[in-house]
Structures are given as structure tokens and as C-alpha cells.
Chains A and B, each alone.
Chain A
């Protein structure tokens, strides 16, 4: 019997074992990723006393919305929520305008000096002044304790800029732009009427990348924002989740109850703050993946 024939005969069993291993590992990974998330969701809907006793481990125990009603009365969280929404919307608009204005001209093969400009931009990905000089710059510009400190220093992500430029170059036919020029179309009109409408997929991805970035960022606010009234959600979260202030709980309850409530709202706060992203996730997940793929062409 030839070697090849033997291999063919042994294959079904080999296949089955291999499949079993692959599916087992995959299922384990799914469990490991999901379990902490399910635990937090369950704990947030449980009776705080049961959570503190460590009785909740998978499903909610004595379903209760106490934690959520408590958050509802917490002014700090809502101020943070509003602030974050404003920072995210304004920040993303600034990000998009500046990124498009940089990416489009640099995608034009007929622009003298674009290689030099690209080098100037790309170099910043590998070497920078660092935290302290940046902080001093923002301070000297008088941006401390303003919304602009959270928006302007990060106005362009060089990575996103390169991805967008690659998209403009590879997905929009140069002949089309040349034809528009011959028809007397100015570059501004070309950008607004042709390039932007034709690039909707990549622009959507960029809006999502930038918006999630703003929603989740906390470090810039930590160093630039002192006024608690301007705190974004993530800084308020940091106080509640990590610094564990019992005064995050309003009302005239005893100290013991305060500790109980402060502990229990942690779970609900995690859910409330991640809700917008988790709700939109199923709809945009495909776009995110696409964005990474487009980036990888160049990468």
C-alpha cells in the first residue's frame, strides 16, 4: 500500500481530532471573554446585599434596579455624561475636518512637495516631545481647564490620516479627478462634491474610530481639566470605580448602607457608561473591521 493511500485512510480520524481541538479552544475563548461581562451585567441587576456577600456568580440574584435608580439621582454622572457627549461631538467634527483637509491634498500625485510633507507627518509617529513638553505647550496656549485641551492636541491621528490618504489614492480613479479639472472644477468643489461622497465607507469608519476614542479617553482630562464641572464621564467613573468615594451616594443613609450602595453602583455605572458603545457595536462592527483592513493594505 502506498504512503499516500495510507494518509487518505487515516485522514477522517485525524480530521475529527483536529476539529475537536479547534472547537474546544474556540469555545473556551468565547467563555473567557464573555464571563466577566455577564458577571458585571448580572451583578448590576442584583440585590446589592447579595452581590456583597459574593452570592452572584452567573445570573442575577433577587433582581433589583436599586443601583440604577441610585445612579439616576447622581448629578455628577449626568454632568459627566453631558460633557462627554459634547466633547465627543465637537472633537469628532474637528478630527474629521482636519484629517480630510490633510489627507486629500496629500493623496494627489500632482502635488509638488507631498513626499516631504508625508515625511514630516510620518516621523511624528516614531518620535515625539513626550508628555511634559506637550503639557507645557497646552498650558502656555491657555487651554488648561477648557474643552479645547481635550480636542486640539489630538486633532489628527496620523494613523487615520495615512489610512484615509491610502483610500483616496487607491479607491478613487485619478482619471475621474483629471476629467473634473478639465471641466473647470476647482479642488475645493472636487473635494466636497466628488471625493467626500465617494469615500463614505472610510469616512464612516474614521468617525467611529475618533468618536470611540473621545468617548473612552480619560488621560487628557486627567492632566488638563481641574474643574469638576467639566469632567468627562471617564473621570467621574474613575472616581466611582477606583477611588471608591462613598459620597458618590446621595441621601441620608447610614454609613453601612453608603458602603453597600457605593459598592453596588459600580456594576451599574460600568453598564451605563459603556451602553452607547455596546448598543451601536453590532451595527458598526463590520465597519470597524473594514477600517483595520484598509489600514493594513498600507501597513
Chain B
């Protein structure tokens, strides 16, 4: 054992030709660690890199009988068909706008909630606020959409009862395209603001209390302390969360959109990912929808790279 340690410490000073051999010895000695990794890495290769390999059908006319390799190449045909299709503008607009509005409205709300939790001096009340706002996060999407259905029902829901009580006529919220985005984003906020605020609350609790004391001595009001100390203190976390959100920009809430979608609100609820599902899985147009999915992922990746780069330049915080 001792000789191995001596060898390990002395090795870096030796010539690099020996390095390969040393790493090899290290690897053989830890073969059991690689044994542990065997199944997980195989799983990653099959279930993450396998679909990447299968993505070539986006450039082929996939025929299940011939398999992925046997199908013939068609180049960018599927992409062109998609860009020229009647749906393209609507799908892209809906996808971008739902996500952009979410980012503009839902993203800041969890930060505001964290600041509010941080400003509540009563420990028990702040715990209560947190515990209650976390609850909806654990409810399944199916149930959330079910709750939306009964809650906004034009005949039995309390919202429409209220509208009628004030003399208005009931609104079919879930069947009107004009209401779709509001309801989708609003219920997302309802469900997730508490959960998303946790990370900001954690960051806020890490701010040095002396900063607040000093500002107080200088006569800064509570609002000014929030603005000049709390907020700047969590900017790095905000930037990271923003980058991560944009990393999933094109696929936020796909399952929920699918559940909320119906023929009457399709004009506003048809997004790229639901189109891939209905046309690909249900109608079997695999190559065409694989191409659309690829288009979606590429936009996503480009956005992520751009934002990460921008963040690194302006705020010196970035994912990598």
C-alpha cells in the first residue's frame, strides 16, 4: 500500500510517457467502480444517445419495414415541408409567445414571493406562507387541468357563478382561444410560484445581515433595503435560473398544454411539441415530426448558448 502511495506522489514529476501507464494502473485498480458505472453508462448510451442516432430519420423517409438504416435519404425535404406548411407560423408563434409570456410574468413572480417571505418578520407566518404555496407543486398535471375544468366550468364553477352574480354572462374559459394563454400561464404561476421561490429564499438567507444593519443606520427604508441589498444579493442565482429556464424555452409545460387542448382553442394552444405528438405518434408521420422535433431542439440549444454567453459577458455568472 505504501509503495503505491509513493508511486502516486512521485509520478507527476516523471516524464509524460509514463503517465499513460500510470493511469492504466489506476484504472485497473478501480475496475469495480467502472463495473458500477457499466449499467448507467449503457443506459445513457441507449436511451439518450440512441435517440440521437435515430434522429437521422429526420433526413430520411422512414419506413418501419426497412428500419432506420435501410430507409432512403431525402435531405431537408421534411424541414421544407414544415416551413412551407400552413401551420408553421401558428405553431412557432404559439410556442414562442407562451414561453415568452411565461418568462416575463411567471419568472419574476417567484422572485417577488421570495422577497416577501424574506420580509415577513413573524417566523410562523412566513413558514405558513411557504408551506401553503408549495402544495400545488405536488399535484399532477392531469389533476390540475381537472381542477381548472371544474373551477372554470360555465355552469357549476365558482368563477362563473361570481360573474353571473354581478350580472355578466358566463364565459367558456377553456373553449376560447383568447383565454388559453392567460389560463395556462396563470395556473402555472398558481402551481409553481412557491416551489420556484425556494431557491431564491435560500439565496436571500445567505446575504450578510450586517449589510442590512449598515443600510438601516444610514436611514435606508425597508423598500430601499430590498431594492439595494436583497435583490442585488440574489442576482447570480436569478441569472442561473434564467439560463436554465431558457435552456428549456421551447418545451415548457407541453403535457399540460396537451391536456388543455381542444378543437375550440387550437388556434392558441397548438404548439410545436403537441403537433409532434398528434402528427407523429397518433398519425404515424415519424420522419416529418422527427424533423420538427429537431428544429425545436436546435432553436432551444441556440437560445441557451446565446443567453449563457451574454450572461457570462455582462454579469460574470454563467453555466459554464
| A residues in contact (CB < 8 Å) with B | 3-4, 6-8, 11, 14-15, 18-19, 22-23, 25-26, 29-30, 32-34, 36-37, 39-40, 43, 51-54, 56-57, 98-99, 101-102, 104-106, 108, 110-113, 117, 120-121, 124-137, 152-153, 155-156, 182, 186-188, 191, 212, 215-219, 223, 234, 237-238, 241-242, 263, 266-267, 269-270, 273-274, 277-278, 281-282, 285, 288-289, 292-293, 296, 299
Is there an interface contact between A218 and B221, defined as CB atoms closer than 8 Å?
no
Decide yes or no: A130 and B141 within 8 Å by CB, A4-B218, A124-B44, A187-B30 being known contacts: no
**Which residue of chain B lies nearest to A104 when distances are taken between CB atoms in the complex?**
B36
Point out the residue from B1, B36, B50, B160 that lies within 8 Å of A191, measured CB to CB: B36
Instruction: Given contact pairs A156-B43, A187-B30, enumerate 19 new A-B contacts (beta carbons under 8 Å).
Output: A11-B221, A18-B223, A22-B119, A26-B120, A51-B156, A54-B161, A110-B26, A120-B41, A126-B247, A129-B55, A132-B57, A133-B51, A134-B54, A156-B44, A219-B258, A270-B143, A273-B143, A278-B138, A282-B131
**Which residue of chain A lies nearest to B217 when distances are taken between CB atoms in the complex?**
A4
For the complex, give the distance between the alpha carbons of A22 and B278 in Å: 46
Is there an interface contact between B140 and A242, defined as CB atoms closer than 8 Å?
no
- The 6 A-B residue pairs with the shortest CB-CB distance, nearest first, are A129-B51, A7-B219, A130-B293, A133-B54, A241-B146, A216-B140
Is there an interface contact between A274 and B143, defined as CB atoms closer than 8 Å?
yes
Residues from chain B with Cβ under 8 Å of A15 in the complex: 222
Asked if B211 is an interface residue, CB under 8 A from chain A, the answer is no
Q: Can you list 23 contacts pairing A with B, beta carbon distance less than 8 Å?
A: A18-B119, A18-B223, A25-B116, A26-B120, A26-B125, A33-B135, A34-B132, A54-B158, A111-B30, A130-B51, A132-B281, A133-B290, A135-B281, A136-B57, A136-B286, A216-B139, A216-B140, A219-B258, A237-B142, A242-B142, A273-B143, A274-B138, A289-B134
Asked if B37 is an interface residue, CB under 8 A from chain A, the answer is yes
For the complex, give the distance between the alpha carbons of A15 and B224 in Å: 12
Residue from the set B44, B116, B218 with the largest chain A CB neighbour count within 10 Å: B44
Asked if B179 is an interface residue, CB under 8 A from chain A, the answer is no
Decide yes or no: A18 and B222 within 8 Å by CB, A135-B281, A289-B198, A292-B199 being known contacts: yes
Q: Which among B90-98, B100-108, B296-304 touches the partner chain?
A: B296-304
Asked if B128 is an interface residue, CB under 8 A from chain A, the answer is yes
Decide yes or no: A215 and B293 within 8 Å by CB, A33-B133, A285-B134 being known contacts: no
Decide yes or no: A133 and B57 within 8 Å by CB, A98-B43, A299-B244 being known contacts: yes
Is there an interface contact between B146 and A242, defined as CB atoms closer than 8 Å?
yes
Is there an interface contact between B47 and A105, defined as CB atoms closer than 8 Å?
no
Asked if B190 is an interface residue, CB under 8 A from chain A, the answer is yes
For the complex, give the distance between the alpha carbons of A8 and B23 in Å: 67
How far apart are A202's CB and chain B's nearest CB, in angstroms? 16
Residues from chain A with Cβ under 8 Å of B231 in the complex: none
Decide yes or no: A129 and B54 within 8 Å by CB, A15-B222, A281-B138, A299-B199 being known contacts: yes
Residues from chain B with Cβ under 8 Å of A131 in the complex: 273, 276-277, 280-281, 289, 293
Is there an interface contact between A130 and B290, defined as CB atoms closer than 8 Å?
yes
For the complex, give the distance between the alpha carbons of A19 and B54 in Å: 58
Asked if B40 is an interface residue, CB under 8 A from chain A, the answer is yes
For the complex, give the distance between the alpha carbons of A215 and B218 in Å: 53
Residue from the set A23, A33, A234 with the largest chain B CB neighbour count within 10 Å: A33
Point out the residue from B26, B155, B247, B296 that lies within 8 Å of A130, measured CB to CB: B296
Residues from chain A with Cβ under 8 Å of B259 in the complex: 238, 242
Residues from chain B with Cβ under 8 Å of A187 in the complex: 30, 32-33, 36
Asked if B233 is an interface residue, CB under 8 A from chain A, the answer is no
Asked if B294 is an interface residue, CB under 8 A from chain A, the answer is yes
Is there an interface contact between A33 and B36, defined as CB atoms closer than 8 Å?
no
Asked if B147 is an interface residue, CB under 8 A from chain A, the answer is yes
For the complex, give the distance between the alpha carbons of A131 and B290 in Å: 8
**Which residue of chain A lies nearest to B295 when distances are taken between CB atoms in the complex?**
A130
Residues from chain B with Cβ under 8 Å of A33 in the complex: 132-133, 135-136, 190, 194
Is there an interface contact between A112 and B27, defined as CB atoms closer than 8 Å?
yes
Is there an interface contact between B55 and A270, defined as CB atoms closer than 8 Å?
no
For the complex, give the distance between the alpha carbons of A86 and B157 in Å: 35
Decide yes or no: A101 and B36 within 8 Å by CB, A40-B150, A128-B51, A299-B240 being known contacts: yes
Asked if B52 is an interface residue, CB under 8 A from chain A, the answer is yes
**Which residue of chain B lies nearest to A137 when distances are taken between CB atoms in the complex?**
B50
How far apart are B318's CB and chain A's nearest CB, in angstroms? 12
Is there an interface contact between B156 and A52, defined as CB atoms closer than 8 Å?
yes
**Which residue of chain A lies nearest to B301 when distances are taken between CB atoms in the complex?**
A127
For the complex, give the distance between the alpha carbons of A129 and B277 in Å: 14
Residues from chain A with Cβ under 8 Å of B221 in the complex: 11, 14, 18
Within 8 A of A (CB), among B197-250: 198-199, 202-203, 218-219, 221-223, 237, 240, 244, 247
Residues from chain A with Cβ under 8 Å of B202 in the complex: 292-293, 296
How far apart are A83's CB and chain B's nearest CB, in angstroms? 15
Residues from chain A with Cβ under 8 Å of B255 in the complex: 218-219
Is there an interface contact between B301 and A126, defined as CB atoms closer than 8 Å?
yes
Decide yes or no: A241 and B143 within 8 Å by CB, A22-B119, A33-B133, A43-B150 being known contacts: yes
**Which residue of chain B lies nearest to A289 when distances are taken between CB atoms in the complex?**
B198
**Which residue of chain A lies nearest to B203 when distances are taken between CB atoms in the complex?**
A296
Is there an interface contact between B147 and A263, defined as CB atoms closer than 8 Å?
no
How far apart are B9's CB and chain A's nearest CB, in angstroms? 13
**Which residue of chain B lies nearest to A182 when distances are taken between CB atoms in the complex?**
B1
